[in-house]
Structure 1
Amino acid sequence: MSEELNRLKQENSRLREIIGSWRRKAQEKNPYRNRLFKEGYNRMYSEHYKVYIVDYIPGDLDIKEVIEEIETKFMPTIRPFSFKRLDYSTKYKAWIVEVCRTKEYTKLREPFEVRWSE
């Protein structure tokens, strides 16, 4: 019984932190938006990548909650790209999310390798 009570207190504390983070973010009145920061092609890994500035997620939110938010709310909006990297930028005061797709770009790599191997 005591273990269950401690677990519930920890969960309550965790949820209070999450609610506080979202409340502070809402008081700043930032609209929901994602800005494309940069886009390119990485020939070494044969992938097309995009980097977004995601500023609707609070900066002081726990990283597990941020990842869950990115995977459930942000990623469905940018299909067929897949989640690759997540960083917090103090310059932009926002999360920087890198996404990529590799499937259809494998043919672009072949001429480069043939050219340099001769």
Structure 2
Amino acid sequence: MLKKGGRTILFIKERRKMMRKGALWIISLFFLVMVSDGCRKKEPSIFRKAKSRKKAEEAIRQTEKLEKEIQTIERIEKEIKEMEAQEQTGAQDIEELLKKEKTLEKQEPALPERETTHPE
């Protein structure tokens, strides 16, 4: 039973202080949880930004690779065109040589025959 003496009143006052401290502790814990929830909500946005930055950097790397591939393809196409041009000029040169050969064959009977000497 509680006595209304000095000790019991002090006990009640201490209990009230503890309850207030407990209430303050619960309130502070509640705010701490709210703040940490806010941080958790902010963290994904930070991670999203980091992920989007990584995606952007990856996209930049891929475009650079594609640009290099396009440059090599253009260089190869240019070399192929040069080779085709050389083949066409080579074919034209062969045709010209064949025409010259035919004209020389036609002119050959008109030349006086020479005696060919074979060394024995």
Tell me if both proteins adopt one fold, taking TM over 0.5 as the criterion.
no
- Which protein, 1 or 2, shows the higher relative CO under an 8 Å CA cutoff with sep ≥ 6? 1
In which range does the TM-score fall when normalised by the shorter chain?
Answer: under 0.3
TM-score normalized with structure 1 length: 0.25
TM-score normalized with structure 2 length: 0.24
Which has the greater radius of gyration? 2
Q: Greater helix percent: which structure?
A: 2
